[in-house]
Amino acid sequence: MSVLPIYTIDQPVLRKKARPVRRMDDALVALAADMIETMRKANGIGLAANQVGVLHRVIVVDLSAMEETKDFGPMALINPEIYHEEGKLVMEEGCLSIPDVREDVERAEVIRVRYKDLEFKDHDEEFAGLPARVILHETDHLDGILFYDHLNALKRKLLRGRLNRIRKGEIEVNYPIVSGATSNNRLQAQAV
């Protein structure tokens, strides 16, 4: 397993819609394992494939480090499709692609999801509370939506300074990232 670099807010791959997985293969199983390793290294609880630069509809979730959800995870959801939502719950969210930014977001409290597992078997499950929130957050990523897109215009405006620091690479994280600053450094290094 490998720790993959996580793409930050300024990277175009985060705004693209991921493609459905048509068949399971060893490369996809390895991707899911690497995503779980990456998520753990970054102290995250969810990760979408486009956050590591891959446009496949794959998310991973692991809530087992928290007492209230210690039996949840790790798991990979292939082609997750949320087809039912009920209730509303406001909770603070953050994102590995937007380090050090946390805001309250309203999402459904209960969801029903169809997905495939790593053996490409079909599942249809209900999730509530934090598991539902993480799956909603990560599924948004697969559609090119970031959590701050759910914030009102004033809150987004207030975040501009912090988001610009992320874009410039003026952040410290304990995991590898790809940001505008690192992309520019790579281009400059290749030009020399």
What are the residue boundaries of the structural domains of the chain, listed by start? 6-183
Q: Which of 92, 138, 170, 172 is catalytic?
A: 138
Read off the tokens for 68.
Answer: 């209230």
Nearest to 47 by CA among 31, 36, 63, 33: 36
Q: What is the rounded radius of gyration, in angstroms, for the C-alpha atoms of the chain?
A: 16
Contacts of 99 (CB under 8 A, 6+ apart): 8, 166, 171, 173, 177
Q: Which CATH superfamily is domain 6-183 in?
A: Peptide deformylase (3.90.45.10)
Residue 185: per-residue pLDDT: 40
Query: d(Cα 4, Cα 19) in Å, to the nearest integer?
Result: 20
Query: d(Cα 89, Cα 173) in Å, to the nearest integer?
Result: 29
Residue 174: per-residue pLDDT: 92
Q: pTM, whole model, 2 decimals?
A: 0.91
Residue 186: per-residue pLDDT: 40
* Burial status of residue 13 (CB atoms within 10 A of its CB: 0-12, 13-18, 19 or more): middle
Residue 190: per-residue pLDDT: 28
Residue 167: per-residue pLDDT: 87
pLDDT tens, the chain, 192 aa long? 799 999 999 999 999 999 999 999 999 999 999 999 999 999 999 999 999 999 999 999 999 988 888 888 799 999 999 999 999 999 999 999 999 999 999 999 999 999 999 999 999 999 999 999 999 999 999 999 999 999 999 999 999 999 999 988 888 999 999 987 655 444 322 222
Residue 138 known to be catalytic:
yes
